[in-house]
């Protein structure tokens, strides 16, 4: 996210702002026509949608569409919205400024008039807004208002497939069969044999004697291809004249009812001209309830099994249990790929398997970030150096990003305020993600005391490869007793403000892949434990010391 100024639209220069990934996904959907909305929602609209699945005027809509901005832009009257590279996309005319979350200042219209604040019931009287009213992003400032298109976006992966819904509808009409049903398949997963059989069966069922046309809407991130290449690899096995389009849908918000993600997919599919929608899911995922009041029918093909006798995928009720095989879930597939195992032919087409093997190579060839976190004096830098040497001996390319070295070389000039410490960790995460993207191993050893910033780094890296979090869980009193730099003594004396563990908190990880207890152990023992975990996980070869 970035902030600047621009003179677009005439008059005084408007601030320039690059929305976060959720805001950018909403913005592109608004501008493309995938959402039937003119802009970002007000507090009342967001609260009504979150609570009831409809706007205050009664129009059904499943998810709040809001724009989170930093405090420095909360009073803006206009805002030029850009992509992450700074190219202007749209201008927002602010109609309302509001706060999402507990304890906030309430909402203000563009005139400064107070509107409903946190804890105030929404217009329908059912939603008590003591928590985030809009989902996604938690507490923070929001701006509402209409957006004016400036120029088409050139940012994002697979731009040639990011077709405007109106263009998809027009091409279909020009193709000569606009009255034939159109089945939209919304997926971010590869299409394995089970899904391909279900798609063909659904297209036949709704076609009324003629197979319905098929549009595959690929949900892919802006900054990477995701699983799109593996999805496209299945094209020869899909019905003839199947079309593809790429869109970026915001992630499902756990604060909203479970059916809202399916409802959003149905609304987006309808914008492309679909008459029915089928949503492909991980077979291990919990089944979401059938969405209430979808704009087009949402098809649920039910449970299917592979019949080893017939060598076909069929509805489960038609398969003898003695001959039934269940599709492996995404986690099992990922583990097979990570360990370099071939995916079975009964499960997925050879073209899809080959593309998956390219996208998700065995972990010994996959980029990795090993991220050590712990208090100052915990021993994380020493252990990280030992692990770095072991990784190098295994034959892998490794880069060590030690906290103190990064401070001197990458983050010189930053203070130790929370904002600057977070920025320092994000910089480390960015460099580590680029190393990971190119197949290397990045080993990082900052304190990284805040859970939210560590989560940002994990997400950043996992877009490029694998992330392994190590919590060096040395007790504070042990760290303070070591204190070879005298930092704790200075912090206790008040010479170092906001010192982690003394005057500022350390948020212990709850998502660590490995917890190292260094108290009473040698450095060699801690290094050996970390290296063994990496070798067991498949990131280091087993045939080297």
Q: DSSP code of 322?
A: G
Range from 41-50, 400-409, 491-500, 502-511 that averages highest in pLDDT: 41-50
Domain extent listing, the chain: 3-149, 159-359, 363-536
Q: What is the mean pLDDT of residues 127-145?
A: 62
Per-residue three-class SS string for 429-497: HHHHHHHHHCCCEEEEECCCCCHHHHHHHHHHHHCCCEEEEEEECCCHHHHHHHCCCCHHHHHHCCCCC
pLDDT score recorded for residue 50: 95
Which residues are annotated as part of the binding site? Answer: 374-381
Average pLDDT over residues 68-74: 94
Using one digit for the tens of pLDDT, what is the confidence trace for 165-204? 999 999 998 877 778 999 999 999 999 999 999 999 999 9
Instruction: Please state the CATH superfamily assignment of the domain spanning residues 3-149 in this structure.
Output: Sulfate adenylyltransferase (3.10.400.10)
Q: Which residues are annotated as a binding site for ATP?
A: 374-381
Question: Confidence band (pLDDT; 50, 70, 90) for 109?
Answer: very low
Mean pLDDT on 115-137:
36
> Any idea which of 225-239, 344-358, 416-430, 438-452 has the lowest mean pLDDT?
416-430
Reported confidence tier of residue 11, pLDDT bands at 50, 70, 90: low
Confidence of residue 120 (pLDDT cuts 50, 70, 90): very low
* pLDDT band at residue 498 using 50, 70 and 90 as cut-offs: confident
- CA 384 to chain centroid, in Å, comes to 28
When pLDDT is averaged across residues 66-94 and rounded to a whole number, the result is: 96
Please tell me the class of the 363-536 domain.
Answer: alpha beta
Report in angstroms the alpha-carbon separations of 174 from 169, 207, 268, 404.
9, 19, 21, 62
Contacts 24+ apart (CB under 8 A), 406-413: 406/446
Residue 124, pLDDT score: 31
Average pLDDT of the residues in 65-89: 95
Task: Decide if 3-149 and 159-359 have a common fold.
Answer: no
Q: What are the φ and ψ backbone dihedral angles of 401, each rounded to 5 degrees? A: -110, 85
What pLDDT is recorded for position 539? Answer: 95
Reported as a single tens digit per residue, the pLDDT across 275-334 is: 999 998 888 876 667 788 899 999 988 899 999 999 999 999 999 999 999 999 999 999
Residue 389 parent element (H or E): helix 380-393
Q: Which fold has domain 159-359?
A: Rossmann fold (3.40.50)
């Amino acid at each position: 996210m970035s902030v600047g100024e621009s003179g677009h639209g005439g008059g005084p220069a408007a601030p320039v702002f690059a929305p976060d990934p959720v805001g950018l996904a909403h913005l592109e959907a608004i501008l493309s026509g995938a959402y039937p909305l003119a802009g970002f929602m007000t507090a009342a609209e967001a609260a009504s949608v979150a609570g009831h699945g409809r706007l205050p005027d009664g129009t059904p809509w499943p998810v709040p569409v809001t724009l989170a901005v930093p405090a420095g832009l909360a009073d803006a009257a206009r805002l030029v919205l850009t992509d992450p590279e700074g190219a202007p996309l749209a201008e927002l005319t602010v109609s309302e400024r509001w706060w999402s979350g507990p304890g906030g200042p309430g909402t203000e219209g563009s005139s400064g008039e107070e509107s409903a604040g946190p804890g105030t019931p929404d217009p329908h009287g059912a939603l008590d807004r003591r928590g985030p009213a809009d989902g996604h992003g938690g507490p923070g400032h929001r701006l509402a208002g209409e957006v004016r298109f400036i120029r088409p976006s050139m940012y994002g992966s697979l731009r040639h497939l990011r077709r405007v819904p109106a263009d998809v509808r027009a091409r279909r009409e020009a193709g000569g069969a606009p009255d034939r049903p159109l089945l939209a398949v919304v997926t971010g997963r590869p299409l394995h044999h089970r899904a391909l059989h279900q798609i063909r069966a659904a297209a036949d069922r709704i076609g009324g004697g003629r197979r319905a046309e098929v549009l595959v809407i690929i949900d892919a991130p802006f900054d990477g291809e995701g699983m799109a290449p593996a999805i496209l690899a299945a094209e020869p096995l899909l019905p003839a004249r199947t079309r593809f389009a790429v869109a970026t849908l915001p992630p499902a918000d756990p604060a909203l009812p479970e059916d809202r993600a399916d409802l959003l997919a149905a609304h987006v599919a309808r914008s492309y001209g679909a008459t029915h929608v089928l949503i492909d899911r991980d077979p291990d995922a919990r089944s979401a309830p059938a969405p209430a009041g979808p704009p087009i029918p949402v098809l649920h093909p039910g449970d299917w099994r592979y019949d080893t006798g017939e060598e076909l995928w069929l509805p489960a009720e038609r398969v003898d249990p003695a001959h039934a095989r269940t599709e492996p879930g995404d986690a099992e597939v990922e583990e097979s790929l990570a360990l370099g195992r071939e995916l079975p032919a009964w499960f997925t087409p050879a073209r899809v398997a080959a593309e998956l093997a390219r996208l998700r190579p065995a972990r010994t060839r996959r980029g990795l970030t090993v991220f050590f976190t712990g208090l100052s004096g915990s021993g994380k830098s020493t252990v990280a150096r030992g692990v770095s040497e072991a990784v190098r001996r295994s034959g892998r390319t490794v880069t060590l990003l030690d906290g103190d070295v990064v401070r001197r070389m990458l983050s010189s000039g930053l203070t130790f305020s929370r904002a600057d410490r977070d920025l320092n960790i994000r910089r480390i995460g960015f460099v580590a993600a680029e190393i990971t993207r190119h197949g290397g191993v990045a080993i990082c050893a900052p304190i990284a005391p805040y859970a939210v910033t560590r989560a940002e780094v994990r997400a950043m890296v996992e877009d490029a490869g694998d992330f392994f979090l190590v919590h060096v869980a040395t007790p504070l009193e042990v760290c303070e007793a070591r204190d070879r730099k005298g930092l704790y003594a200075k912090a206790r004396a008040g010479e170092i403000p906001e010192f982690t563990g003394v005057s500022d908190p350390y948020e212990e990880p709850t998502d660590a892949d490995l917890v190292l207890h260094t108290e009473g152990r040698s450095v060699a023992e801690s290094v050996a434990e970390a290296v063994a975990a990496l070798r067991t996980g498949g990131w280091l070869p087993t045939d080297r010391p």
